[in-house]
């Protein structure tokens, strides 16, 4: 089934920037890379913990130490959702 990956930069518990990239659940890592390019960010190092969190909870969080270069946010969140599960970006999305 096709869905989307919602990627958002969080600073001081607020969404600073975000983007949504269509993808299948198995292709979320490629969608994460595309979202990072759209946000002009380096791609974070994806660890087994991130894969497990996305598989189990539909969401993964990347901290500044998961990036090779410095970033200006507290965390990057990636959330996968199926088509029709959310018709539009959740409230609070910029």
- Chunked into runs of 10 residues, the chain (94 residues) has average pLDDT values of 91 96 92 96 96 95 96 96 64 51
Cβ(91)–Cβ(15) under 8 Å? no
* Token pair belonging to 16: 């600073």
From edge to edge, which strands make up the β-sheet containing 2-11? 14-24, 2-11, 75-82, 59-62
Give residue 80's Cα distance to chain centre: 8
* Token pair belonging to 82: 């199926």
Q: If we measure between CA atoms, which residue out of 43, 59, 40 comes closest to residue 51?
A: 59
Q: What is the pTM of this model?
A: 0.83
């Amino acid at each position: 089934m096709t869905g989307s990956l919602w990627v958002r930069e969080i600073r001081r518990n607020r969404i600073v920037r975000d983007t949504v990239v269509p993808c299948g659940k198995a292709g979320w890592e490629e969608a994460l890379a595309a979202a990072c390019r759209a946000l002009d960010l380096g791609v974070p190092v994806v660890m087994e913990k991130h894969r497990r969190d996305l598989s189990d909870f539909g969401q993964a969080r990347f901290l500044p130490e998961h990036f090779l270069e410095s970033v200006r946010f507290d965390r990057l969140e990636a959330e996968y959702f199926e088509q029709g599960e959310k018709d539009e970006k959740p409230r609070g999305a910029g």
